[in-house]
Amino acid sequence: MTDRAFKAETLAIHAGQIPDAAVGARALPIYQTTSFVFDSAEHAASLFNLQTFGNVYSRLSNPTVAALEERVAALEGGRAAIASASGMAAEAMALMTILQSGDHVVCAGSLYGGTLTMLSVNLAKYGIATTFVDATRPEAFAEAMRPATRAVFAETLGNPSLVVLDIAAVADVAHAHGVPLIVDNTVPSPFLCNPIAHGADIVVHSATKYLGGHGTTLAGVMVESGGFPWGNGKFPGMTQPSPGYHGVIFHETFGDFGFTMRARMETLRVYGAALSPMSAWQILQGIETLPLRMERHCSNALAVAEFLRADPRVGWVNYPGLSDHPQHALLQRQMRGASGLLAFGVKGGPEAGVRFIEAAQFMSHLANIGDTRTLIIHPASTTHRQLDEAQQRSAGVLPDMVRMSVGLEHIDDILWDIDQALAKAGA
Amino acid sequence: MPNDDIATLRRILKSCRTIAVVGLSADWNRPSNFAAKYMQQHGYRVIPVNPRYEAVLGERSYARLEDIPEPVDIVDVFRRSEDVLPIARSALAIGAKCLWQQIGVKNLEADRIARDAGMDSVMDRCVKIEHARLFGGLHWAGVNTGVISAKRAG
């Protein structure tokens, strides 16, 4: 007999949470506690030695947070996951667990601005070099590989460039060099794309976005596939006794979730970007409806893209869900929808774009995506402001670009607000 | 066709109480010691089978399965795949109920011998990880347990 492979709609509601043993609560209890009692000194010692599984302190693990971790791991088809205080914290946890001074990263150039800065400035400070490459060309990743390369990083659907990553091709490049492919899958969410099925080894999310969906709560998740050969000789931190956790050999002891255990005990425990139980609970309320919401985000965004493309006041539209988008076929091969993010230019340049944003009635001008509400922003003057124009262009940010995260309002009302704001932008 | 679905593994781990651990190490940070200590702490009687030691984890160690003077439910194998066949024959000879080859250990012939004799047989899985997966603990480590259920935990 083999176990049933449940589908995403079912996993989104059930994975990671069964009625609790003590009282049988059907919904997930919020374990708002910093600490957990030990049964005995022997029990405490076994927990600290990782000889038994259990909860010690909520910086390391917490039952409410664990439900979120297992749910996202299940939705991604991964082996294990760790939640963190934000999406940036999830990325930092993945990178800092793998990398050390002298290592090198090959990274897509078209990225969320915060990620670009983390690699080009913050990790560079600790002696980790990064080469940024054109994410549309898998061969560009291959050309940038060095002996010291220990990770490849990219977004499955670039924010705000909307570049579609050829996950299988870039995974092949990474694996030919014996290093993992880490992807940020925030924009598609695990409902639209499962990068592990295409060869990715680690998936990170800003759960703040579509996973939560309600724009109330910050959170991040890192998922491990369970398939990467950490014992290939390039990752001594996985195969030698850990100086950071009294001699545990993570790969040997925990097998296909050894990377997650190491990230938890060496990185999350030390740097402390743990997720609060209350926040985990709020994100989980959103995940239960993720499949329904993503379907509507996709259909609304496609309708908006088609409207904008037909409007003479709009110079250009970038939405990979449009059938004439150059990466549309690749997107269809990897994702079951193009998500709710699109970018366009209002004729009249950056000033017209800014006027459009200020003229909106209910579309919100703010720096987030994946909310129920339709959101708009001018990336060049906000999210990517810390980059110069050349860096902005390489990140896929054009001076006149308006980024829109299409929400769940009625499509007629969204198109009405766009139309009236375009009218005012041109005046 | 492996027979290691959730219902089968639950039945094995609930009905068996005595585990002979072949190749159990006395070093606290070796995987076999981790697994055996975990099983001890969760109410199982662990019997070490390793000629190198007098005792491990407070239990007398035996050189061979045939030397154990009491009934054994699970024979848990921490040895290389090519060394499992004689262990499977010994497991059968002492009337064990289940041959359990640890993660990374997979001898198909041993599996066949056990099944043909009506024993349960599990390959390439860790007894500790499966217990933790199905009875609670592994979930707290963020692992995808595959358990979908409206019944209470435990």
Closest CA to B9 of B144, B132, B141, B138: B132
Tell me the sheet residues that pair with A183.
A154, A203
**Would you list the domain boundaries of chain A?**
8-286, 291-425
| CA A211/CA A294 separation, integer angstroms | 10
Q: How many CB pairs under 8 A join A and B?
A: 115
Structure confidence at residue A20 (pLDDT):
86
Q: Walk me through the domains of chain B, giving residue ranges and CATH numbers.
A: 6-141 (3.40.50.720)
Residue A253 to residue B137, Cβ atoms within 8 A:
no
Residue A46 to residue B37, Cβ atoms within 8 A:
yes
SS3 category, B47: strand
| CA A40/CA A326 separation, integer angstroms | 62
Residue A70 to residue B31, Cβ atoms within 8 A:
no
Residue B153 to residue A18, Cβ atoms within 8 A:
yes
> Which chain A positions have a beta carbon within 8 Å of B151's beta carbon?
18-19
Tell me the sheet residues that pair with B47.
B20
Closest chain A residue to the Cα of B154, Cα to Cα: A21
Tokens for A194, please give them. 């499962």
| CA A109/CA A387 separation, integer angstroms | 12
pLDDT digits (tens, 9 = 90+) for A123-180: 999 999 999 999 999 999 999 999 999 999 999 999 888 999 999 999 999 999 999 9
Indicate if the pLDDT at residue B82 is higher than 70: yes
State the average pLDDT over residues B4-14: 95
Structure confidence at residue A427 (pLDDT):
60
| CA A12/CA A194 separation, integer angstroms | 14
State the average pLDDT over residues B40-44: 94
Cβ-nearest to A55 among B132, B140, B150: B140
* DSSP one-letter code for A52: S
Residue B103 to residue A26, Cβ atoms within 8 A:
no
Indicate if the pLDDT at residue B136 is higher than 80: no
> Which chain B positions have a beta carbon within 8 Å of A26's beta carbon?
150
SS3 category, B117: coil
SS3 category, A341: strand
How far are the Cα atoms of A68, A145, A424 from residue B145, in angstroms, in the given order?
A: 13, 36, 54
Global pTM reads 0.95
pLDDT band at A333 (very low <50, low <70, confident <90, very high): very high
Closest CA to A216 of A297, A290, A285: A285
Q: What average pLDDT does chain A have? A: 95
Give the angle subtended at the CA of A49 by the CAs of B11 and A233, to the nearest 5°.
95
Structure confidence at residue A253 (pLDDT):
87
Structure confidence at residue A246 (pLDDT):
79
Task: Tell me if the domain spanning A291-425 has CATH number 3.30.230.10.
Answer: no
Percent of chain A at pLDDT > 70 equals 100
Tokens for A269, please give them. 């425990």
Element (H, E) at A167: helix A167-176
What's the ipTM? 0.91
Is B3 in the A-facing interface, judged by CB distances under 8 Å? Answer: yes
- Bond into A326 cis (ω within 30): no
pLDDT digits (tens, 9 = 90+) for A89-107: 999 999 999 999 999 999 9
* Least Cα separation, residue A264 to chain B (angstroms): 9
Check residue B46 and give left, alpha or beta (phi > 0: left; psi -120 to 50: alpha): beta
A168: which residues sit within 8 A by CB, 6+ positions away? A198, A199
Closest chain A residue to the Cα of B33, Cα to Cα: A51
Assigned CATH class of A8-286: alpha beta
- Asked if A316 and A396 touch (Cβ cutoff 8 Å), the reply is no
SS3 category, B112: helix
Is B150 in the A-facing interface, judged by CB distances under 8 Å? Answer: yes
pLDDT digits (tens, 9 = 90+) for A31-79: 999 999 999 998 998 888 888 899 999 999 999 999 999 999 999 999 9
Indicate if the pLDDT at residue A278 is higher than 70: yes
